[in-house]
């Protein structure tokens, strides 16, 4: 039953995304999981509710506790595998038709419905199929928001395994006998050993969670945000055209595109500032800004080299000398680049790097 419940949740998430409403527990449990432990995505609430259900008084058989623990471990491993496969694109989300013309036609033959009814069902099926096909399949590991949201759930799961869940198991397995029979009580040393054994099993089951969280933030999220932040850098080349042979006065402020360079990072940080794993801290932001700054510097260096070559060519052709303000077009471009980079540095500091 637990496996069926989890697989159903996995299928729904794969079809509808991580925010799919798959939680089938009680409202009270949802409140506890959200407010008490910190889970946010329905899928991970469902997982934890399933894990909790193993140790309910009406379910657990104390002589078979080791099998219940093994079952819980297997479900944790299953979810970790599902997350890992999604991150690397082995599993695609969305883009799957749950209803096809052939399946509807087969159902009609079996049921013996009238031809008119068959026609209507096939038409409806085509509409459903067209709608499902219009939702393109995607790799959620390419979406920074999804990666961060799942990484946070894994963080909560990892902490809960060695605290709340461990205590829940121990309280059931080592629960004193209702009739106070001393021969079924665990002495303190036995309780400690029992707790250590269970803790080791849970830690082993979730040993891949920590590295997965680290990889999510310091590699995947960083890479995605770097690419987004570097898109506006194509505008660096246009700075030269702004002043070349235009007689414009020297610049006094940064180019408009500069404010958009780190915007993806700023917006992302605002959303997930309170859902960043403690051990990740700000290293991921430093990773993004350092690479973006390097690419920005390279673009500026290329432009300056081009400007210098242009100035030499103009001088050789006895082009006009300094324009308004006594600065050449090349000097204006360099001044603009300086103002732009100074603004970029200021923005980086406001983000906390």
Expressed as residue numbers, the domain containing 226 is: 214-351
Residues 71 and 143 in one domain: yes
Residues 6+ apart with CB under 8 A from 135: 94, 95
Cα distance between residue 291 and residue 68, in whole Å: 48
Give how many domains the chain has, as a whole number.
3
Buried b (16+ CB within 10 A) or exposed e, 8-19: ebbebbbeebbe
Cα distance between residue 131 and residue 125, in whole Å: 10
Residues 59 and 105 in one domain: no
Cα distance between residue 295 and residue 300, in whole Å: 9
Cα distance between residue 280 and residue 310, in whole Å: 47
Dig out the tokens for 174 from the structure: 């080592």
Residues 26 and 150 in one domain: yes
Residues 80 and 158 in one domain: yes
The structure tokens 């920074």 sit at 144
Inter-residue contact 48 to 160 (CB < 8 Å)? yes
Cα 173 to chain centroid, rounded: 36
Residues 6+ apart with CB under 8 A from 258: 232, 340, 343, 344, 347
- Claim: this prediction has a pTM higher than 0.75: yes
Inter-residue contact 293 to 343 (CB < 8 Å)? no
- Domain final residue, candidates 118, 134, 150: 134
Residues 198 and 224 in one domain: no
Residues 261 and 317 in one domain: yes
Number of Cα atoms under 13 Å in the Cβ half of residue 331: 11
Cα distance between residue 270 and residue 40, in whole Å: 17
Residues 150 and 72 in one domain: yes
Residues 123 and 23 in one domain: no
Residues 32 and 109 in one domain: no
Residues 11 and 156 in one domain: yes
Residues 11 and 128 in one domain: no
pLDDT (tens digit, 0 to 9) for every residue of the chain, 353 residues total? 889 999 999 999 999 999 999 999 999 999 999 999 999 999 999 999 999 988 776 766 666 667 878 888 999 999 999 999 999 999 999 975 443 334 334 444 444 454 444 555 445 544 444 444 445 899 999 999 999 999 999 999 999 988 888 888 877 776 655 444 444 455 566 567 777 788 888 888 888 899 999 999 999 999 999 999 999 999 999 999 888 777 889 999 999 999 999 999 999 999 999 999 988 888 899 999 999 999 999 999 999 998 888 877 777 665 445 444 467 888 899 999 999 999 999 999 999 87
Residues 79 and 153 in one domain: yes
């Amino acid at each position: 039953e637990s496996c069926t419940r989890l697989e159903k949740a996995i299928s729904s998430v794969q079809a509808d995304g991580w925010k799919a409403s798959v939680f089938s527990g009680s409202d009270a449990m949802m409140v506890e999981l959200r407010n008490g432990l910190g889970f946010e995505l329905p899928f991970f609430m469902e997982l934890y509710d399933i894990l909790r259900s193993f140790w309910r008084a009406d379910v657990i058989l104390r002589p078979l506790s080791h099998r219940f623990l093994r079952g819980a471990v297997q479900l944790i491993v299953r979810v970790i595998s599902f997350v890992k496969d999604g991150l690397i694109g082995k599993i695609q989300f969305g883009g799957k038709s749950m209803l096809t013309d052939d399946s509807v036609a087969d159902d009609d033959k079996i049921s013996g419905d009238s031809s008119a009814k068959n026609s209507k069902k096939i038409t409806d099926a085509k509409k459903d199929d067209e709608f499902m096909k219009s939702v393109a399949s995607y790799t959620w590991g390419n979406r920074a928001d999804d990666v961060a949201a799942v990484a946070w759930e894994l963080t909560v799961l990892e902490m809960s395994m060695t605290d709340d869940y461990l205590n829940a198991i121990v309280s059931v397995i080592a629960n004193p006998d209702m009739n106070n029979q001393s021969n079924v009580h665990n002495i303190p040393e036995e309780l400690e050993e029992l707790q250590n054994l269970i803790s080791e099993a849970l830690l082993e089951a979730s040993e891949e969670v920590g590295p997965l969280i680290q990889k999510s933030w310091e590699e995947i999220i960083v890479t995605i945000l770097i690419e987004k932040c570097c898109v506006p850098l194509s505008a660096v080349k246009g700075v030269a055209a702004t002043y070349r042979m235009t007689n414009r006065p020297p610049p006094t402020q940064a180019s408009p595109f500069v404010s958009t360079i780190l915007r993806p990072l700023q917006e992302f940080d605002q959303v997930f500032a309170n859902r960043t794993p403690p051990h990740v801290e700000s290293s991921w932001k430093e990773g993004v800004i350092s690479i973006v700054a390097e690419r920005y510097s390279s673009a500026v260096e290329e432009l300056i080299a081009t400007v210098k070559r242009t100035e030499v060519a103009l001088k050789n052709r006895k082009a006009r000398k300094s324009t308004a303000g006594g600065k050449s077009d090349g000097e204006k471009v360099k001044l603009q680049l300086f103002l732009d980079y100074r603004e970029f540095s200021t923005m980086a500091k406001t983000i906390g790097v």
